[in-house]
Structure 1
């Protein structure tokens, strides 16, 4: 945690690790756009009623660029985006490590599936197609997500070739497979008893078909092509049970996908960068070690 605190002190003192631009995910027009979507809503750190998905760009720290990028999917139960705590703060931390971060503002319950999947896969394709522009390697592009954003990141990790993620544009030819994933207290399954019903209902509706529940229970979609994954959860998470991460880790292990999992005793749900969560407060150190071990940062 000390590295994060020092990085934030450096930010305050030098204005580093700041967002530099916001780029549209669908410059040619959002697929299946709603005619009367209404204005985007911002309530404190929460964003909802998203109709124009974007990527906020946070360049890597200029003195330690790693060539690695991460697309961040904030959580919020597919009903809103926790943009500051699970977007901007993660981006600043990653930037301090030399990673170029992109915070994804994706469509939510008012669109439902497959809009969020389309948005995250298009974001990966867009960043990969412009890798040279951002000084990143096209084979070092990862995803990170928290809670429902973790479900979206895991969906990208398992459904990157699914037809629902394509829209017929030229960028469909670019690979949407992430090269690695960091999943923070993720929603994974759409099935009882571990399901987070609010996320399922927001994404799939109140009465989803059995086939859709199966498809979006992403532990069932893991294959040998799923990227290396780091899972972080709390045993005392009272909203999204730790069984979600366990189910995904077991599926990764069966598929022989490299994975690590940390389940801390304390931390609750939505720990983000908060302090005072016992050993969970130092999850960033574990994540940095994992990124370094995979040679994604110096």
Structure 2
């Protein structure tokens, strides 16, 4: 991947000069009065994506709400909707390996899950030396001016901000990867195929940096916006029930793969009843056609939304180690 080094050095200089002047950041989503499981690290640091507020807000902005869906006091399963201040929750490793991973959790574009596909993966990555950034992206159904591109705008901006602040986190700006789950897998695949799309106006030095991830790992991803492969809920929230074929194509990553797309790691369970496995197969075929490097793992059982916790005790539980081994071959994990 090619990075504009002059732009990066200029951005790093600005970052160093202004490091002590950053405004207070929005806290990560939380449930008021909610108890957290003991012993699990929680993010103590967040990065707001848009210092002067997210662009394209409607006259009456949505209200951020966090719902706790777990009934087990030792396991949280929060979901956040109405995101007005998109931000990243940061998980810093004790010994950084120089690589960063932007995590985009799922939620069907109705909400963004916090724990199962966000914080749990952030902790796993940080324990292995990766600096993890869990992205709470805006949702297309909330009336933002960018419409179906609003989550992509946040993912592009997040990738650029990570590079902009690489020095602060001991990160190599060339080694900023992406990983996403379900609808967040769509965000990940969209970022890795439409990283060069102009979906927002730049606001600072960070926006002169590349939004192309080093590599991408869409896990059981939503890909196609066309029946019968489309996940109906995600499609409705992203492009609407009556979307034209042209609009469907614009937001189907397998139809937008450029020749210079980054390497992909794909993973899906064949018994997924929510997002058909053909979503991953369509993306794999498109990547192969463009001669883009891709590794694909299909599991007989696993269902949908297994993340880490629901994979335990099944063959699919090995998937994070498969990703890590593959990441070494790409130069992400040295």
In the alignment, is residue 285 of structure 1 matched against residue 318 of structure 2? no
CA contact (8 A) 1:147 1:186 kept: yes
Give the TM-score, by structure 2 length. Answer: 0.81
Which of 188, 198, 201 aligns to 1:167? It is 201
Deviation at 1:101, TM superposition (A): 0.4
Q: Distance in 1 between matches of 2:62 and 2:237?
A: 19
CA contact (8 A) 2:214 2:332 kept: no
CA contact (8 A) 1:97 1:297 kept: no
In the alignment, is residue 101 of structure 1 matched against residue 128 of structure 2? no
Structure 1: gaps (5+ residues)? 1-11
Deviation at 1:275, TM superposition (A): 3.6
Give the TM-score, by structure 1 length. Answer: 0.90
Give the 3-state SS of the residue equivalent to 1:114 in structure 2.
helix
CA contact (8 A) 1:88 1:103 kept: yes
**1:8-65 residue CA offsets vs partner (Å, 9 max, x unmatched):** xxxx77x7x65230110111221011232243110111111111101101112x23x2
Deviation at 1:294, TM superposition (A): 2.2
What is the 5 A alignment of 1:106-117?
A: 106-108=137-139, 109-111=141-143, 112-117=147-152
Aligned CA distance change for structure 1 residues 209 and 24 (closer, same or farther; 3 Å): same
What is the 5 A alignment of 1:1-298?
A: 18-44=42-68, 45-60=78-93, 62-63=94-95, 65-108=96-139, 109-111=141-143, 112-164=147-199, 166-170=200-204, 171-273=206-308, 274-276=310-312, 278-298=314-334
Instruction: Number of aligned residue pairs: give it.
Output: 283
Q: Distance in 1 between matches of 2:273 and 2:214?
A: 31
Q: Distance in 2 between matches of 1:168 and 1:133?
A: 22
Runs of 4+ in 1 over 4 A off after TM superposition: none
Give the 3-state SS of the residue equivalent to 1:248 in structure 2.
helix
Q: Distance in 2 between matches of 1:58 and 1:41?
A: 23
Deviation at 1:277, TM superposition (A): 5.4
CA contact (8 A) 2:224 2:279 kept: yes
CA contact (8 A) 1:267 1:277 kept: no
Deviation at 1:292, TM superposition (A): 2.1
**1:206-249 residue CA offsets vs partner (Å, 9 max, x unmatched):** 22232211111110111221111111100000010110011111
Give the 3-state SS of the residue equivalent to 1:19 in structure 2.
coil
Give the 3-state SS of the residue equivalent to 1:163 in structure 2.
coil
CA contact (8 A) 1:184 1:232 kept: yes
Give the 3-state SS of the residue equivalent to 1:233 in structure 2.
strand
Q: Distance in 1 between matches of 2:197 and 2:313?
A: 38
Larger Rg, first or second structure (1 or 2):
2
Structure 2: gaps (5+ residues)? 1-37, 69-77
Aligned CA distance change for structure 1 residues 158 and 261 (closer, same or farther; 3 Å): same
More moved, 143-152 vs 253-262: 253-262
Q: Distance in 2 between matches of 1:119 and 1:245?
A: 23
**1:55-96 residue CA offsets vs partner (Å, 9 max, x unmatched):** 101112x23x21000111010110011111000001001111
Q: Distance in 2 between matches of 1:275 and 1:261?
A: 18
CA contact (8 A) 2:271 2:303 kept: yes
